[in-house]
Amino acid sequence: MPLLKRKPFPLADSPKDLENHELVYQVRFTKEVFRDYSEYLSRINLYRRRVWMCKFTGKSNLTYEEALVSEKCAAEKVQQFPKDLIVPALQIIQYSMLSLKDLADTIAVKLQEFLFVGTELYGRREDQIYPCKIVKVLENDAEELQYEVVWLDKNKKVTETALLNVEDLVQKKPPLSRRFLKSFIRESTYRSAPWVLHDKLAQNHGISTDLPQELRSKAFFRDGLLVCNKKRKTNDMETSNPGKCKRRDRANGSTAENGAKKEGLDEDIKYPIDDLLVQPGADDPVFSERPSPSREFKVPMNCVGDLLMVWDVCSSFSRLLNLWPFSLDDFERAIYHKESNVPLLVEAHSAYFRLLLKDNGEYSSLVEGKKRKMKITLVNWTEYLCDFLEMIGNPKLCANTATIKRGHYGLLDTYVKLGILCELVNHSLESNIFREKLDEIIEQRQALGATRRGEALEEGRKRREEKERLKSEPMSNGHVNGHLTDPEKSEISKSDPGRRSKDSSKNRNGVVISTQNGLSPVKSEDDHPIAYLKKMAKKRNSDVTVSTSTNSPKKEAKDHRMEVLDKNTIKERREYYERELEKRSIKTNPLGKDRNHNRYWWFRRDGRIFVESSDSKEWGYYSSIEELDAFMGSLNCKGERERELGKHLEKSYRRICVELNKRSKDITNQIAAEEAVLRRSTRVRAPPRENPATAYLRYVNRWKED
């Protein structure tokens, strides 16, 4: 039986009262039967995960079927264990407290002392050592063993026989390998520490099942199985000093009485744990039903991953490629389109060709050698495509060169089109131009991170100084240097982090205006999250602060407003840094994984959450806030993976909802426009309108280089 997390995994019980005509779902390799399809599917998905271990060999990262095959092969190999050595080996294994490695080493050493018929070893003859094989064991009158052997040549053919004593026999290596012995130990036992043989196996070979005296104080039987009492020492202490143990149990959140109820065996589970080990609990919240993701794609399912990768790179590095951004829907329709020279695909290919030509690499040399025009157009772009295929030399892709030359690019299979684009992306990422751009982005991210950390440190320093100042100032009649010590205002002061960074200057309203030198994430006033605050400052570099010598109500109200304003400014600064760092992201990372290792992706330029199966063979997506809420409500925070996934979704929830709403509105407007086109098409004299669904056919690259 394959192991899950190094523990036996119980098979599901067959449903009771099954009728002959009832339709059920059966797992082929375990013969488990399920009435409910969702339960069957969940169990199948679990069996397909690479989380299983072969019980006999210890191989891990296997699927359930692979683990079964491994165990079958190991069992067949273990059956070859020499019969004469089975009993001595089992006697060593029974109730041994050694680790698996040490136990295998001990058996190997012990078995070297046992010589049996069929053993191949070396014998001494005329002061020389020759290979031989034992064919018979003889016992003389002096109760000394002698061995009849046959000498073997290089081809292991028998030459002649001889009678040798035990001192004339030499074993060059142990008769059985350590790996073989480990498999034998695992197959023969049902538990370790101590190792205990299967009852039937022990009875068949006459091995005693009586527990040794030295283990009786450390273990006991429960439900017919041997169980180690790991807390026996604790129980002994309870007998000798019950008061001390009771105090210790209370410190751990449980009493000695509760420990007795658990019989010193079960420990409280500390969450989070692996998701597949989470069991339903009485205190669990009501989880919503997990919605099924939509799988409506125009491209084949096995091409969705490549489609998303290519589109994400085109969108993320559109400025570098001089390629006007396009939506994922338009890109998918363009790939699916069967006509040649689709403007969107032509411009996408041409953008990568221009970048490779600028790089002055292998592709540039190949094109220059063919003396082609250096201007890529709608007419000659396929020539550059054929040159690229010739350069990469991929047999599967190069087989379509003739079709492309005849002008039938649109007739290529979807996986071929995406395969070509994937190759273009990979070669572009390896170019010097791309590497320089990535280095620049990394430097900007590091500078932004350093600036953000500097501001955080400055805020912390300001908070500490403010606390020390408040402690040192004398309190008199409810005033502090002319300020009313209003509890609400004091609370605001405590919660308000520092308002001025080290390299900042203040305007007369006390608002911080960043004047940092070096790399600044702010490129223009409109790009700054507190641009509207700058307009309030008449004298930017003045260091005039509000006087604190008055305690008038108007003044107090004004100070209160400034406190809140600064607090909002700090929050906006943090959001600003998050946006700027996201703009300079190098790659898109998944939001996380669910209990079944399915990955979840969110691309900020598309309003959907994509679901990728653990084997990357199936894709789906959620496209509404209702689906997102239902999915988040189905996550169990007791599991490690779903806990982290839930945190990432909560952190990005607001932004995701904005994109989902935007996409829903766009789809609604598109449907309305398509219906309008359909209605107008019935009127002969009405001028035709452009259908939004065919926008990819009217794509124009506004950033195209001249």
* pLDDT digit string, tens, across residues 423-474: 999 999 999 998 898 888 888 888 888 888 888 888 888 888 888 888 887 6
CA dihedral 456, 459, 460, 461 (to 10 degrees): 120
Residues of the chain with pLDDT under 50: 220, 222-224, 230-267, 476-551, 684-687
Name every residue whose Cβ is closer than 8 Å to that of residue 625 and which is 6 or more positions away in sequence. Answer: 657, 660, 661
pLDDT (0 to 100) of residue 203: 80
Tokens of 456: 């955080």
Cα(317)–Cα(434) distance, rounded to whole angstroms? Answer: 9
Q: What angle do CA 86, 87, 88 make, to 5 degrees?
A: 95
Q: What are phi and psi of 656, to 5 degrees?
A: -65, -40
Handedness of CA 451, 453, 456, 460 (dihedral sign): negative
The pLDDT of residue 548 is 39
How many Å apart are CA 115 and CA 95, to the nearest integer? 25
Q: What is the distance between the alpha carbons of residues 189 and 175, in angstroms, rounded to a whole number?
A: 22
Rounded distance between C-alpha atoms, residue 681 and residue 687, angstroms: 8
Residues 6+ apart with CB under 8 A from 694: 333
Query: DSSP letters along 265-325, please?
Result: T-----SSB-GGG----TT---PPPPPPPB---SS-GGGHHHHHHHHHHHHHTHHHHT---
Helix/strand/coil (H/E/C) assignment for every residue in 312-326 = HHHHHCHHHHCCCCC
Q: Hey, which residues does 132 pair with through a beta bridge?
A: 121, 151
Cβ–Cβ under 8 Å, residues 163 and 144: no
Residue 690 · residue 658 · CB < 8 Å: no
Side-chain half-sphere of 386: how many Cα atoms within 13 Å? 16
pLDDT at residue number 599: 95
Would you give the end-to-end CA distance of the chain in angstroms?
A: 67
Measured CA to CA, the distance from residue 517 to residue 520 in angstroms comes to 7
Q: Which residue, 491, 471, 460, is CA-closest to 560?
A: 491
Beta strands per DSSP E along 114-257: 120-125, 128-139, 145-152, 158-165, 169-170, 189-191, 196-197, 219-222, 225-228
CB 620, CB 293: distance < 8 Å? yes
Single pTM value for the model: 0.52
Nearest to 204 by CA among 192, 191, 188: 188
Q: What are phi and psi of 700, to 5 degrees?
A: -130, 125
Helix and strand element counts for the chain (H, E): 25, 22
Task: Output the pLDDT for position 679.
Answer: 63
pLDDT for residue 527 = 43
Q: Are 308 and 587 in contact (CB under 8 A)?
A: no
Q: What is the pLDDT of residue 646?
A: 94
Spatial separation of the C-alpha atoms in residues 591 and 687, rounded to whole Å? 47
pLDDT (0 to 100) of residue 592: 93
How is the beta sheet containing 609-612 ordered, strand by strand? Answer: 592-593, 599-602, 609-612, 619-622
**What element of type H or E holds 580?**
helix 553-583
- DSSP H helices, 473-517, are 487-495
- Answer yes or no: are the C-beta atoms of 430 and 438 closer than 8 Å: no
Q: How far apart are CA 288 and CA 48, in angstroms?
A: 25
Structure tokens at 158: 């028998």
